[in-house]
Amino acid sequence: MNFSTKLVTTSSSHFLTGGVKPGAPASFVPTEILYHRLQVTASPDVKFTYSYGSGSGRYVKSDGSPIADSELHAILSDLHDGSLGNLPLLYNPNIAPKITVHKSCYIVIELVSPQNMMFCPGDYAVKIDASKANYYCLLQHYDSDTVPIGNAGDLCPATPPCRFISFGAQNWVNFRDDLFSLQMLFDQGGGDTMTATIDPAIKNRGDG
| Residue 135 near residue 170, CB atoms below 8 Å | yes
pLDDT category of residue 16 using cuts at 50, 70 and 90: low
- Residue 120: which of 38, 184, 164 has the closest Cα? 184
Q: What is the pTM of this model?
A: 0.87
Domain ranges of the chain: 2-204
| pLDDT higher at 47 or 63 | 63
Note the pLDDT tens digit of each residue in 121-134.
888 888 887 777 67
Whole-number average pLDDT of the chain: 82
Q: Does 53 score more than 50 pLDDT?
A: yes
Q: How confident is the model over 141-168, as a mean pLDDT?
A: 86
Is the separation of the CB atoms in 16 and 128 below 8 Å? yes
